[in-house]
């Protein structure tokens, strides 16, 4: 059994940890509100841009002359995966869920005999992938010094992807991130951005007809690179909100668990103290009787 002094030190240590986790929960809650607003505002913009590109692509008569970012290289041999995680930990299963989703995709690609290339955005993703897929990681990017998510960081990643595509280093590119639903739920996402993949929902919802000037292929040549950066920016906004929500939930659980541990240790301390007092009383009474 631990001594009274050890129990007292442990109670003090757990209380200190509880104060830290409670403070982190409050900070995450404050950041979450702003991050959630940014993520929700970014969704309509990225969705509308996808719809405009879909309308433009439908107007192209000769698909062979369409921009390569839209039609692709015509092959499906080399896959580039951009895995977007956080630079900081203590956020529950946020990073693990993204990595788990990405690993399933990696295994599928490798089982089909295709070439896999990985770009990690965020140190936590690199730390979890380097042991199994270290040879496949061609670039690691971190924005640890950036206080808030911004378009310029997303544009840097987008330019790296486009540059590698122009050099014909890959055929298909997909990004992995967490979509924010609420504080408790964040949904891991896999989104193909090169060539642009449109779902059936997008095709059915594209009811607006536009007249474009200049020609569709010329507009797409300028719009598609911006769309890649926009989709990456949207993913970063979703990740930011998901990270703060997951951290808030994790720190709330940690604070609650610390409180329960303090209660148990306090009961154990009181019992040990009572046992020590009882033992001393018995020794005093026994000594008095012997006299």
Q: Residue 179: beta bridge partners?
A: 187
Cα–Cα distance, 161 to 119 (Å, whole number): 9
**What phi, psi does 275 have (nearest 5°)?**
-65, -40
Q: How many Cα atoms sit within 13 Å of 101 on the Cβ side?
A: 24
Q: Give catalytic status of residue 91 as yes or no.
A: yes
CB contact at 8 A, 217 and 206: no
Cβ neighbours for 209, distance < 8 A, ≥ 6 positions apart: 55
SS3 content of the chain, % helix, strand, coil (to 5): 65, 15, 25
Q: Three-class SS of residue 199? A: coil
What is the CA 261 to chain-centroid distance, rounded? 30
Strands laid side by side in the 172-180 sheet: 137-141, 115-121, 78-84, 172-180, 186-194
Question: Pick the catalytic residue: 91, 116, 183, 193?
Answer: 91
Spatial distance between the Cα atoms of 154 and 176, rounded to a whole number of angstroms: 14
DSSP 8-state assignment for residue 50: H
Report the distance separating Cα 186 and Cα 179, nearest Å.
Answer: 6
Give the residue among 193, 194, 192 at the shortest CA–CA distance from 168.
194
Cα 160 to Cα 121: distance, rounded to the nearest angstrom: 12
List of residues 6+ apart from 86 with CB closer than 8 A: 94, 95, 122, 124, 239, 243
**Enzyme catalytic residues:** 91
């Amino acid at each position: 059994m631990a001594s009274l002094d050890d129990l007292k030190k442990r109670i003090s240590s757990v209380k200190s940890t509880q104060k830290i986790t409670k403070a982190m929960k409050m900070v995450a809650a404050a950041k979450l509100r702003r991050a959630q607003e940014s993520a929700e505002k970014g969704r309509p913009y990225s969705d509308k841009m996808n719809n405009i590109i879909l309308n433009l692509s439908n107007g192209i008569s000769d698909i062979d002359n369409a921009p390569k970012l839209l039609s692709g290289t015509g092959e499906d041999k080399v896959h580039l995966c951009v895995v977007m995680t956080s630079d900081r930990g203590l956020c529950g299963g946020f990073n693990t869920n993204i990595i788990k989703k990405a690993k399933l995709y990696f295994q599928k690609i490798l089982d089909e005999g295709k070439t896999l290339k990985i770009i990690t955005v965020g140190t936590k993703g690199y730390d979890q992938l380097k042991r199994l897929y270290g040879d496949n990681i061609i670039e690691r990017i971190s924005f640890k010094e950036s206080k808030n998510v911004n378009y310029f960081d997303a544009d840097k990643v987008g330019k790296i992807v486009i540059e590698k595509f122009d050099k014909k280093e890959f055929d298909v590119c997909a990004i992995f991130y967490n979509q924010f639903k609420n504080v408790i739920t964040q949904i891991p996402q896999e989104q193909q951005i090169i060539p642009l993949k449109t779902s059936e929902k997008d095709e059915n919802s594209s009811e607006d007809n536009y007249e474009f000037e200049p020609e569709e292929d010329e507009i797409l040549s300028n719009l598609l690179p911006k769309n890649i950066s926009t989709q990456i920016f949207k993913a970063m906004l979703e990740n930011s909100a998901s990270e703060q929500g997951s951290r808030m939930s994790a720190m709330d659980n940690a604070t609650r668990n610390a409180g329960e541990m303090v209660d148990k240790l306090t009961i154990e301390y009181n019992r040990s103290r009572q046992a020590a007092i009882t033992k001393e009383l018995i020794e005093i009474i026994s000594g008095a009787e012997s006299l």
